[in-house]
Amino acid sequence: MPQSLEHIEESIAQSSLWTSIKNFLNLHIDFTDKISVSILDFLIVITVIFLTTIVLRVLLRLITRNLPQDDKTKFNVVYGYFRWLIYIIILLITLHSVGVNVTAVFAASAALLIGIGLALQTLFQDIISGVFILIDQSVHVGDIIEIDGKVGRVEEIKLRTTRAVTIDNKVLVIPNHLYLENSLFNWTQNGTTTRESVNVGVAYGSDVQLVKKLLLQAASTHPDVISEPEPSVIFTDFGDSALNFKLVFTLNDSFKATFPKSDIRFEIDKLFRAHNISIPFPQRDIHIINK
């Protein structure tokens, strides 16, 4: 009999404890008159978010295990953005499942969301542009790009900005939305070699064949000019004060093209002086009429 009584008392105590736990879990926190969340709802949301994190990490490892390191890094950047989007979707679905009025949540935060959206409009444009860059592979690390009159070698592509270094070793931070608003010139998408040119004019009456020979000599003797394809000279026009030529040649590193082009101009001036070929300056005839 005493054992039965003890068993009954233990059952009552356990029942009382369970009732207390149950009452605690059913304790509601009212954010507004339409939004009320219980402690149990909080625990369910935290559990679902935790499980979602584990699933996303497993999927990330499965998807990226065979990718090269560069592609893996780019995928991780995109994943870092869409992960938060998935969290928000899972959170809303979970809240709706436990009985929370999701519509009321949106209504309560509508003004805040509109304000944030207007303030972060440019940020969203940068992020969307960054996703496009990573997906369509229009720009890679190491590419030499020209955008909005600025030239740089790409060092890092992030979701919001692209970091490049200019020829004078200055860091150029490009907001990604500029790719949607401006024409992008990728100097090295077709390879590291690029065709460069130097324009020069000579006086009328000059030996054009000698001019062509000297221009080719100035390019072919420079150590940075590639022999294949060979340099070429184009007679571009009969100008107002000069015969205009364009010397075309190929460089293996167009990022530093300014220096070889400068050297070639020095050599052209030297060869022209040695062969008495003058580079004219604009001339105008003025006729004075006395009345």
pLDDT above 50: residue 21: yes
How would residue 232 be classed by pLDDT, with cut points 50, 70 and 90? Answer: very high
Output the six-digit token pair for 200. Answer: 């020069």
* Whether the domain at 136-186 and the domain at 194-274 fall into the same CATH topology: no
Helices assigned H by DSSP within 65-223? 69-97, 102-119, 121-136, 178-181, 208-220
Residue that wins the pLDDT comparison between 33 and 162: 162
pLDDT above 70: residue 50: yes
pLDDT above 60: residue 289: yes
How would residue 199 be classed by pLDDT, with cut points 50, 70 and 90? Answer: very high
Pick the CATH number of 20-119 from 1.10.530, 1.10.287, 3.40.50, 3.30.420: 1.10.287
Residue that wins the pLDDT comparison between 69 and 4: 69
* Average pLDDT value for residue range 17-27: 61
Measure the N-to-C terminal CA separation of the chain; round to a whole number of Å: 144
* Average pLDDT value for residue range 62-78: 65
Angle at CA of residue 248, ends 244 and 250, nearest 5°: 165
Give 173's strand partners.
163
Residue 36 pLDDT: 59
Percent of the chain with pLDDT over 70: 66
Residue that wins the pLDDT comparison between 178 and 204: 204
- Cα–Cα nearest to 88, from 116, 48, 43, 128: 48
96-100, 112-116, 232-236, 246-250: the lowest-pLDDT one: 112-116
The CATH architecture annotation of domain 136-186 reads Roll (2.30)
Q: What is the mean pLDDT of the chain?
A: 76
Residue 86 pLDDT: 79
Query: What CATH class does 194-274 carry?
Result: alpha beta
- Cα–Cα nearest to 172, from 186, 160, 162, 184: 162
Domain boundaries, the chain: 20-119, 136-186, 194-274
Residue 1 pLDDT: 44
How would residue 148 be classed by pLDDT, with cut points 50, 70 and 90? Answer: confident
What is the Cα–Cα distance from 112 to 85, expressed in whole angstroms? 18
* Beta carbons of 186 and 174 less than 8 angstroms apart: no
Residue that wins the pLDDT comparison between 260 and 180: 260
Residue 228 pLDDT: 84
- In this structure, the number of other CB atoms found within 10 A of the CB of residue 156 comes to 12
